[in-house]
């Protein structure tokens, strides 16, 4: 197994129900929990999730406003995730009943991609395009 590259860009998302968002991103989408800091009631103060193909996201509960991300509203995030498993992920998302906002397609710029919305409205796009060289 190869080591995951260290993330250097961290999208940060806030959720009304951060524990449910974390479970969805790990159990359905395939992120890996790297760090989860719960409060005394089980809500999430801060979490870091790693993408197995490289990269990461941070998330936390709307209830916690101790950081610079406290002005962000749930459902306003947009994240693009590079993956070589687009078809498998699309099938998983479809079978889980997740809202697909852009169907699976091949783009003019060479990406095999689709987009979905998580339960709180954040947009996620998964594709093979790795950016311009």
The total number of structural domains that make up the chain: 1
Q: Residue 8 has what pLDDT?
A: 67
Residue 45, domain CATH: 3.10.180.10
Domain that holds residue 37: 12-65+74-127
**Residue 132 vs residues 3, 12, 109, 110, 111: alpha-carbon distances, Å:** 24, 24, 10, 11, 12
How many other CB atoms are there within 10 angstroms of residue 82's CB atom? 18
In degrees to the nearest 10, what's the CA dihedral of 114, 94, 77, 49? -100
Strand order across the beta sheet in which 78-82 lies: 78-82, 123-127, 112-117, 99-106
Residue 98: inside a domain: yes
pLDDT tens digits, the chain, 133 residues: what are they?
Answer: 566 666 667 888 999 999 999 999 999 999 999 999 999 998 898 999 999 998 899 998 887 666 656 667 777 789 999 999 999 999 999 999 999 999 999 999 999 999 999 999 999 999 999 888 7
Residue 7: inside a domain: no
| pTM for the predicted model, two decimal places | 0.86
**φ/ψ (deg, to 5) at 74:** -60, 145
């Amino acid at each position: 197994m190869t080591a995951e590259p260290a993330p250097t860009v961290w999208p940060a998302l806030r959720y009304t129900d951060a524990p449910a968002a974390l479970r969805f991103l790990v159990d359905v989408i395939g992120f890996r929990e790297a760090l989860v800091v719960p409060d005394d009631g089980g809500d999430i103060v801060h979490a870091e999730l790693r993408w197995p193909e490289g990269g990461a996201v941070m998330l936390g509960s709307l209830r916690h406003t101790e950081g610079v991300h406290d002005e962000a509203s749930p459902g306003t995030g947009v994240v693009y995730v590079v993956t070589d498993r687009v078809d498998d992920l699309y099938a998983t998302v479809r079978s889980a009943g997740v809202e697909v906002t852009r169907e699976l397609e091949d783009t003019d710029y060479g990406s095999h991609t689709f987009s979905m919305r998580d339960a709180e409205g954040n947009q996620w796009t998964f594709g093979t395009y790795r950016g311009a060289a």
